[in-house]
Structure 1
């Protein structure tokens, strides 16, 4: 497939909102022993549940290494496509392609990936296999792609409304380990060209202690154009409280590319989740990777959910706010089925439900 030298904006392509219709969903199988406890075995069962639920709404493809191919194929239902693909870890929303469309064709944007900060504060080294994932997905789906060799970006660091507006965090996109050679204005210029944007809304920070440098997908989520969900706490003693307050103030006073004032829905956070001694000891300690230490606070949030064609799949944590989160999501997505999946094992690996959407050529009206 072609590597294009133009930009999506020049060609009339845009990144759709996650709430628009999908052709399918991609996931990477967890197995890395210095990130996933017990070689990823507990997390693999949760990934099977995530993939199975999403497959009720749309096609699902799971990428898996050669060593784990037979195991994954045996564990996953037959209706889920399994493809062999080398990778460094399972965060495909971050290393996979960003799909863009002009209403008739879908293409991929292949950003450079450096494990959330490279040699400055990245989470592992090397990351070259992950940096090839976007290209491989585009090849399998036979999509032409735009490749940026000199711009670092993860899919979890951006949220768009599909109508020209993007929300990001300064904590992430301005971090030293990504594009420190560029100014804030230069970063905006790249994003506007490759996502086809007119306006970018910056909030200062993401979820407290998020090892991705505050990815926006863990603190806010677009529901529809002009409406966002914001992770929220009322605990003034929690360092997350100030972060939520500043984000709410900015978002509720912002207008989007179409001149609409944003509606902000508060989504309560679960209580603090800490790594136990048993969980910490189940992770291999290897130089060059971020350790999982007993007592570490995990960046738990319900905002990192996945919008499928007819449903919403969100993480639960055996917390009283699980049900409050479900009701909040149902009020925002009245025509979709809301499904919660106990996600502690995914959270222990450093994230929540992590998928990329493969958009349909025809935009949802």
Structure 2
């Protein structure tokens, strides 16, 4: 059978975090962002295992002490020793495929969104992860194709969703034609069909319009998307065009998708006046729960209620992510799910 990328709501062994440290871009607000990582560690380790990538031994010991103080379940936490440039596990982490009987962990090239930042250490993390934690019965594959996990969404029918602005960007795989990129993507991930969006972006986003900031697949042919209802906002027209595109998308049997709109948080800025990419779409699905970024915004509660419609039966938990957007990402961006069977028992 064909190996196919698993949807995020597939049962998981663990979630992977790459922990921030003083030599990352998080240095100016390290304490605040570590608080978010500690909260995530508590929430995740109560429900499943957590894999933490630690840059060095002293950092690993400091993390253990911090998590012990905050009563995280250390029995459910696995440490992987690997140097790192930064912490965006969604994009440097592995993509996991299954053929129904066996898993395959795919390691694509990570270039920090088209060479915007240093990424040599992050691009090597999956090798350390596979050597230290991967189930011996799982296969591994390495590809020269440049691809970040935040750039793609897939559902249970093998339909892949992405944005042309990212995957077709000339700063990635520029030696390939658009058709070659599409065929490579389908072959690598076992996609039955690829749906492309031509519209949608977030100001302050370094990723060239990652899909996980804009639109997310949910079970049962559902799409959860961000909607801007403020005509004075710079995103209004572009996200309106994206919403129009979503109405036209069709699944493998020609079916339309149920659409669930997420509210638009008020504009957030850093001290330099740069707009930050606050989005409710950047949520994380774990076993029996969905962790949703919040921003101390009047729309937070509506966002939680809308996400609950897409994932009935799961607990919906808000996580304050104001510290994360200071580095132009949010909750989903710093995590990567590792499906059931990924870890060595």
TM-score where L is the length of structure 1? 0.86
After superposition, the C-alpha distances for 1:104-154 in whole angstroms (9 at most, x for unaligned) are 211111101111111xxx1x22x11111112222222133211112x1110
Q: Does 1:141 align with 2:134?
A: yes
Alignment of 1:103-142 (within 5 A): 103-118=100-115, 122=116, 124-125=117-118, 127-139=119-131, 140-142=133-135
Moved more, 151-160 or 103-112: 103-112
Distance in structure 2 (CA, Å) of the matches to 1:340 and 1:55: 16
Alignment of 1:202-213 (within 5 A): 202-204=196-198, 205-213=200-208
> 2:25 is paired with a residue of what secondary structure?
coil
Distance in structure 2 (CA, Å) of the matches to 1:272 and 1:252: 26
Q: Does the aligned pair in 1 maintain the 2:15–2:49 contact within 8 Å?
A: yes
**Among 23, 26, 37, which residue is 1:36 paired with?**
26
> 1:47 is paired with a residue of what secondary structure?
helix
**Among 256, 259, 275, which residue is 1:297 paired with?**
275
Moved more, 349-358 or 86-95: 349-358
Q: Does the aligned pair in 1 maintain the 2:146–2:173 contact within 8 Å?
A: yes
**Among 48, 71, 81, which residue is 1:58 paired with?**
48
TM-score where L is the length of structure 2? 0.91
Q: Does 1:69 align with 2:60?
A: yes
Provide the alpha-carbon RMSD of the alignment.
1.6
Unaligned runs of 5+ in 2: none
**Among 287, 293, 307, which residue is 1:329 paired with?**
307
Counting matched residue pairs gives 329
Runs of 4+ in 1 over 4 A off after TM superposition: none
Distance in structure 1 (CA, Å) of the matches to 2:241 and 2:98: 33
Q: Does the aligned pair in 2 maintain the 1:101–1:359 contact within 8 Å?
A: no
> 1:116 is paired with a residue of what secondary structure?
helix
Distance 1:340 1:39, change over 3 A: closer
Unaligned runs of 5+ in 1: 1-10, 277-293
**Among 228, 232, 237, which residue is 2:232 paired with?**
237
Q: Does the aligned pair in 1 maintain the 2:158–2:192 contact within 8 Å?
A: yes
> 1:27 is paired with a residue of what secondary structure?
strand
Q: Does 1:253 align with 2:243?
A: no
Give the equivalent residue in structure 1 for 2:176. Answer: 182
Q: Does 1:343 align with 2:321?
A: yes
Distance in structure 1 (CA, Å) of the matches to 2:195 and 2:232: 27
**Among 240, 262, 266, which residue is 1:267 paired with?**
262
Query: 1:243 Cα shift?
Result: 2.2
Distance 1:34 1:356, change over 3 A: closer
Q: Does the aligned pair in 2 maintain the 1:21–1:359 contact within 8 Å?
A: yes
After superposition, the C-alpha distances for 1:323-359 in whole angstroms (9 at most, x for unaligned) are 1101111222220001101111111122111211111
